[in-house]
Amino acid sequence: MLWLGVGPDGQYRQTTMHSYGDGTTVSPSTAKKMAEQLKFKDVDDMYDFLNNRHRKS
C-alpha cells in the first residue's frame, strides 16, 4: 500500500509499505529508498523520526 502526505514544508511525499504486518524489518536498500522518498536526510534521520518524532536539524 502507499503511504503519502504533505509534510510541514509543503512538499508531497509517498512511499510503499508492504502488508507484511507490524514490526517487519526492511532491508537496508529498501530503507534507504524510503528515506529518500520521504525526504529525510538519511536512514538514521528517518528512524529517529519514527521512534522519537525528532528530525536532524
Partner 1 sequence: MKMLSASIARDRFAELRREALKGQEILIEDSKQLNSPLISIISTELLDSLTDSFVFAPKWEEDEDGSLTVSLDEIDVIGYGETREEAAEVLATAASEYTELYFSELSFYLSPMVNRLSHYPYLRRIARCSGDIAKVKKVLGV
Measured distance CA(10)–CA(18) in Å, rounded: 26
Site for partner 1 in 27-56 (CB under 8 A): 27-30, 33-34, 37
And the C-alpha cell for 34?
524510503
Query: Contact letters (x/-) for partner 1, 5-24, by CB under 8 A?
Result: -x---x-x-xxx-x------
State whether residue 6 is helix, strand or coil: strand
How many beta carbons lie within 10 A of that of residue 13, not counting itself? 14
Count of residues binding partner 1 (CB under 8 A)? 18
* Contact residues: partner 1, CB under 8 A: 1-2, 4, 6, 10, 12, 14-16, 18, 26-30, 33-34, 37
